[in-house]
Structures are given as structure tokens and as C-alpha cells.
């Protein structure tokens, strides 16, 4: 495949990429790790579409392994503040921070064989030598992140915060059916259009 779609129209021959064609239909794909860079790119597209036609639904397809919490929460907050409703569609696995981005949707749908994975936040970046106060500060930050993400999951579902904490104490993989049962997803999609 050469990556271009060629279509004949009244204007002549039009050439465009699949991405630009889907962008015109207000459909975006996020299929990478959650990083500062990937979130900046995603936000640029989301903000452009929101400004271009405020109030018209945007579809965000997610297949992400998760990643950076602060970058993901920045996207989550912006998605919640937009004038346009955002439909999130899990197209494979929305894991960790990818699942939190999925939960930002006003309509949260999943393909039949897709999954969500939720868990407590992980601590990273520890060196061999850490002073006790440094470790305590890291632990306090981690517990605050746990509270924030736990509340997001609880608010988007039929679960209490304690039930969320119990489920997320280890990696919890949820099928599309189970996600709908728990209120994390609003439906299972069998037709895209």
C-alpha cells in the first residue's frame, strides 16, 4: 500500500491519506504509549476539532499500553473540558493510563474482543540508593495518584471507591461484556458507522 487514497470527484482527482480522511470525519486514533509527546500531539488534534465545530462529536479510538500519569491526566482534564462530546472506542487494549483516557469519553464503547486493564499506579525511577524521606515522598505521591485514578474509575462505573481499590490491587483485565456490566463502558460496538 502506498498510503494514499485516490478518489475521483467533480473537482478532478483528489488524493489524501486515510488519517486525513478520518480526521475530516472527526475520528482520531491513539495507539501508542502515553508520553508527554504523544499526549501533546493528541491534544493538538482534539483541540483543533473542538474549535473547528464545537459541540459536534469526536471519536477517539484507543489501543494503548498506558504510560505517563501526569501527561494522561492532562489529556483527561482537557477532554472533560471540551465543548464537543467525545466518544471513546476501545479497539484493542486500553491499559493503565490508556484505560483512564478511555473513561474520559461521554460515550465509551468497545469492540467485542477488546479489553480494559486497570491497576494501581506503579512506582518507577527508583535508584538503588534512596533516603528514607525521598522514599516517603514518592510513596505519598503514589498514594495521591492512586486516589485520583481510583476516583475517576469509581465515578465512571457502578463501583465504589473501595471496590475499585480492591480490583486494582493487581492487574485487572476486563472483557467488553464485563466492562459494560461494571459501567466502565456504555456499549459494545458491532457496526462502526
Catalytic residues: 96, 119
3-state DSSP assignment of residue 16: strand
Alpha-carbon span 49 to 82, nearest angstrom: 10
Q: Which cell is 32 given?
A: 501508542
Buried b (16+ CB within 10 A) or exposed e, 102-128: bbbbeebbbbeebbbbbbbbeeeeeee
Under a CB-based contact definition with an 8 Å cutoff, are residues 50 and 18 in contact?
A: no
3-state secondary structure 30-46: ECCCECHHHHHHHHHHH
Amino acid at each position: 500500500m502506498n498510503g494514499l487514497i485516490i478518489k475521483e470527484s467533480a473537482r478532478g482527482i483528489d488524493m489524501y491519506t486515510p488519517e486525513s480522511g478520518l480526521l475530516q470525519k472527526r475520528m482520531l486514533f491513539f495507539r501508542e504509549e502515553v508520553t508527554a509527546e504523544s499526549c501533546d500531539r493528541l491534544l493538538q488534534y482534539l483541540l483543533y476539532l473542538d474549535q473547528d465545530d464545537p459541540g459536534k462529536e469526536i471519536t477517539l479510538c484507543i489501543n494503548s499500553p498506558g504510560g505517563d500519569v501526569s501527561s494522561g491526566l492532562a489529556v483527561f482534564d482537557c477532554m472533560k473540558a471540551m465543548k464537543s462530546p467525545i466518544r471513546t472506542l476501545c479497539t484493542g487494549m486500553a491499559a493503565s493510563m490508556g484505560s483512564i483516557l478511555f473513561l474520559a469519553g461521554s460515550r465509551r464503547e468497545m469492540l467485542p474482543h477488546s479489553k480494559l486493564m486497570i491497576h494501581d499506579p506503579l512506582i518507577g525511577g527508583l535508584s538503588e540508593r534512596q533516603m528514607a524521606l525521598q522514599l516517603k515522598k514518592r510513596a505519598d505521591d503514589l498514594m495521591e495518584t492512586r486516589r485520583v485514578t481510583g476516583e475517576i474509575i469509581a465515578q465512571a462505573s457502578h463501583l465504589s471507591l473501595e471496590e475499585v481499590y480492591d480490583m486494582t490491587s493487581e492487574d485487572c483485565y476486563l472483557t467488553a461484556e464485563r466492562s459494560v456490566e461494571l459501567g466502565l463502558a456504555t456499549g459494545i460496538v458491532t457496526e462502526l458507522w
